[in-house]
Structure 1
Amino acid sequence: MRQALLIIDIQPSFSPPDWLVEGVRRLLPRMASVATVERHDEARTPFQRQLGWAPGPADACLLPVDRVFIKHGYLPSAETIEHLRALGPERVLVCGLQTETCVLAAGFMLFDAGLTPTLLSDLTVGSSLDRTGKLGTDLWRHHFGAVTTAAEALDS
C-alpha cells in the first residue's frame, strides 16, 4: 500500500516525549514524510492575545523528514495538502501532537481534499486537556473511521 506520513508539530515548543519522537523516527525510512511546524505570528493567529501562550517564532521539526511546511494556527497549509495529494498515497498516516486539535484539524483537511487520513493512535499525544489522546482518537474514529497503529501500518 502506498502511504505517506504527515507529522504534526513535533517541535521544541511543544516538548514532545522522547518515545513519540523515536517512534516516528522509526517510520521515516519506510515512506514519504511531511511535517508541519507551528510558528507564531500574532498578526495571523492570535495565540498570545486569546490564549496567553504562543509557540516559538523559529521552531524547527525535530525529525529528519522529506519536507517541512510552516503553519500558523491549527490547520496545515494548503501547500502541505497539495504536496501530499501530489504524492498519490492510498492513505495518509497522521501522527504528532495535540490529537484533539491540530492532528484532528489535519484529518479534516485531508478528508476534504479527497485523501484518506488514518490516525496512528500510538504515535499521538493529546493536549493538556487529555494527554492520553483518547478524546482525539475517539473523534477521529467518529469522523474518519481509519485508526491504526504504527506496527499495523507497516504490515500493510
Structure 2
Amino acid sequence: MKQALYIVDVQPSFNPPSRLVEEIATLAIRMPSIASVERHDESITPFERQLGWTPGKNDESLVAADRVFIKYGYAPPREAVDYLLSLQLDRVLVCGIQADTCVLAAGFAFFDAGLSPTLLPWLTVGSSLDRTGALGARLWKHHFGAMLSGPDEI
C-alpha cells in the first residue's frame, strides 16, 4: 500500500508530549512524511482578535519531515494537498496536535480531495478542550471512517 504520513502542527507553541514527538519521528523515517507548522498572519486568520492567542512567530516542526508546509489557520495549505495528490497515494496517515480542530480540518481537506485520510489516534492529542484526543477521534471516525488502532496496522 502506498501511503504517506501527514504530521499536524507538532511545534513548540502546542507543547507536545516528548513521547509523541519521538514516536512520530520514528514513523516519519519509514515513509514519505509531510508536516505542517501553524504560523500567524492576522490578515488571513484572526486568532489574535477572536481568540486572544497566536502561535509562536518562529515555530518550526519538532519532527523532521521530508516536506514542511506553513499554514495559516486550521486547514492544511492547498500546496500540501496538491503535493499529497502528486504522490498518488492509497491513503494519508494523519497524526499530530489538536485532534478536534487542526487534525480534523486536515481530514476534511484530504477527504474532499479524494486522499483517503486515516487517523493514527495513538499519535494524536487533542486541544485544551480534550487533551486525550478522544473527541477528535470520535468525530474522525464518524466523518471519515478510516482509523487505525495501533502501529501494527500501518
Name the TM-score class by shorter chain.
over 0.9
Is residue 39 of structure 1 aligned with residue 39 of structure 2? yes
* Corresponding letter in the other structure for 1:37: V
Q: Determine helix, strand or coil for the equivalent of 2:101.
A: helix
Is residue 28 of structure 1 aligned with residue 32 of structure 2? no
* Structure 2: runs of 5+ lacking an equivalent: none
Is residue 3 of structure 1 aligned with residue 3 of structure 2? yes
Q: Determine helix, strand or coil for the equivalent of 1:35.
A: strand
Shift of 1:28: 1.4
* Corresponding letter in the other structure for 1:23: E
Shift of 1:153: 3.6
Shift of 1:152: 2.9
Tell me the percent identity: 61
Q: Determine helix, strand or coil for the equivalent of 1:57.
A: coil
Aligned residues: 154
Provide the TM-score with structure 1 as the length reference.
Answer: 0.96
* Corresponding letter in the other structure for 2:23: G
Number of the residue aligned with 2:80: 80
Aligned mates of 2:136, 2:120 — CA distance in 1? 11
Provide the TM-score with structure 2 as the length reference.
Answer: 0.97
Number of the residue aligned with 1:101: 101
Aligned mates of 1:47, 1:144 — CA distance in 2? 27
Shift of 1:149: 3.8
Are the equivalent residues in 2 in contact too, given 1:123–1:149 (CA < 8 A)?
Answer: no
Aligned mates of 2:152, 2:79 — CA distance in 1? 29
Is residue 117 of structure 1 aligned with residue 117 of structure 2? yes
Aligned mates of 1:149, 1:29 — CA distance in 2? 20
* Corresponding letter in the other structure for 1:142: H
Distance 1:150 1:27, change over 3 A: farther
Aligned mates of 1:150, 1:30 — CA distance in 2? 16
